Amino acid sequence: MDLNKLIEKFEEIYGSGGEGIRAFQAPGRINLIGEHIDYNGGHVFPMALDMNNTIIARPNNSSFINMAVTSLPNRVSADIEKLESYKNLEWGNYQAGVAYMLKEAGYNIVGCDLLYHGEVPYGAGLSSSASIEVATAVCLASLGGAASLDMKEIAVLSQRAENEYVGMNCGIMDQFISALGEKDHALYLDCANLEYEKVPLELGEYTIVITNTNAAHKLTDSQYNTRRAECERALSIINENGGSYEYLCDIRIDELEKYEKYFNGDLSYKRARHCVTEETRVKAAVNVLKSGDLQSFGKLLNEANISMRDDYEATGQELDTVFDIALGIDGVVGSRMTGGGFGGCNISIVAKDKVEGFMKTMKEKYTKIIGYEPSFYFSDAGAGAGEIMIKEAKSN
């Protein structure tokens, strides 16, 4: 939906006239490599998509944040003085959580009318939630008069809303890339200190095909929290037996192997092995990408997928099927699941002139095995969150 149509829809809901309509957006993401290590002090390598969550917004001189969305009939009015009380909303809890965290952090929050519109497919593992959180944070902070935004703080407060308000114990990656993404770049992010480097995403004759398994994955949040707890257990076992590491990703593989005997077969050892080997793969992947060696980059993606499948056990039949099919298709240099896992999306690096064939074969084989079709998306590396200038959009 274009911006002018969204503004029309906004005025239908909240009334026309009055100055001060503004628009904000924040993107979803894919992660190229570095999975489930953001919360283990590791490096990740995500890029923002050019699919966004957009908010049309206008202050309303009340003490309520009124929210509507284009895809659902739901309407929410959140009292700014009672922001702690919207945790169980079916829709609107992420937004209320962000408002709550911003307020706690000292931001001025003003009453406003908001209309949300999401282009990031929901529940596909492309960080639609992070894009809602970050768009909300940028919107509310800006309406409240914040002159210039500290985007790292916006990311951290958005993550806090998801951890402490929604109850999903996610790491920082998704909110960070949504807030700070750079057009045509991926970010090489050190999650231990939030320092990052922008790496140009130059794939030459290749492109990224995003394959959505379309798997319904209801248990994602609890499985995610379980994996996170397993990593914490692994680190405790290591530190109780002579180690003194702050994060799993601080450990080298030869060091980790010395601790295996203390695990007594506990599966958290495999989780730790994924984290430790993944950290090495991310560093190698960034280096080979910088030197233009896409074959090696693809190989590291494949290895990362195998580690997520066998050691982290966070893929599932649908993602495993996409991976197996992808590796058999002509023109594919690498393939892996992306994001939290247990369903969601795969990314494959495919020669541009083989993309049609990729989609045809993937669709046929996947549908035959799984029983329903996958979906495909294409996206350049997009920019991070910000305000959209409405006048510019109107004159387009």
**Binding site residues, ligand GLA, CB under 6 A:** 31, 35-36, 38-39, 170-171, 173-174, 339-340
Q: Which is nearer to ligand GLA, 80 or 284 (CB)?
A: 284
Strand order across the 332-338 sheet: 332-338, 345-351, 206-212, 375-377
Q: Any residues with CB less than 8 A from the CB of 174 and at least 6 apart, and which?
A: 29, 46, 127, 129, 130
Q: Which is nearer to ligand GLA, 27 or 340 (CB)?
A: 340
Write down the least CB distance from residue 14 to ligand GLA, Å. Answer: 32
Write down the least CB distance from residue 193 to ligand GLA, Å. Answer: 16
The residues annotated with a catalytic role in the active site are 174
**Token match 């995500």: residue?**
46
**Token match 């994924």: residue?**
274
Write down the least CB distance from residue 25 to ligand GLA, Å. Answer: 19
Write down the least CB distance from residue 45 to ligand GLA, Å. Answer: 10
Q: Which is nearer to ligand GLA, 42 or 298 (CB)?
A: 42
Q: Which is nearer to ligand GLA, 21 or 151 (CB)?
A: 151
**Token match 């991310």: residue?**
282
Write down the least CB distance from residue 44 to ligand GLA, Å. Answer: 7
CA 25 – CA 178 distance, rounded (Å): 10
Q: Which two tokens stand for residue 62?
A: 């009340």
Tally Cβ neighbours within 10 Å of residue 240: 10
CA 44 – CA 184 distance, rounded (Å): 17
Write down the least CB distance from residue 52 to ligand GLA, Å. Answer: 17
The enclosing H or E element of 182 equals none
Q: Which is nearer to ligand GLA, 112 or 319 (CB)?
A: 319
Q: Which is nearer to ligand GLA, 109 or 151 (CB)?
A: 151
259 torsion bin: left (phi>0), alpha (psi -120 to 50), beta (else): alpha
**Token match 């894009």: residue?**
131
Write down the least CB distance from residue 36 to ligand GLA, Å. Answer: 4
Q: Which is nearer to ligand GLA, 62 or 223 (CB)?
A: 223
Using a 10 angstrom Cβ sphere, with 0-12 exposed, 13-18 middle and 19 or more buried, the burial of residue 330 is exposed
Q: Which two tokens stand for residue 299?
A: 């190989």
Write down the least CB distance from residue 224 to ligand GLA, Å. Answer: 7
Query: What single-letter amino acid sits at 137?
Result: A
CA 69 – CA 108 distance, rounded (Å): 24
Q: Which is nearer to ligand GLA, 337 or 351 (CB)?
A: 337
| DSSP codes of every residue in 48-114 | EEEEEEEEEEEE-SSSEEEEEETTS--EEEEEGGGGGG-TT-SSSHHHHHHHHHHHHTT-----EEE
Strand 43-44 and strand 185-190: pairing?
Answer: antiparallel
Contact 357, 364 (CB under 8 A): no
CA 196 – CA 180 distance, rounded (Å): 10
**Token match 């200190």: residue?**
193
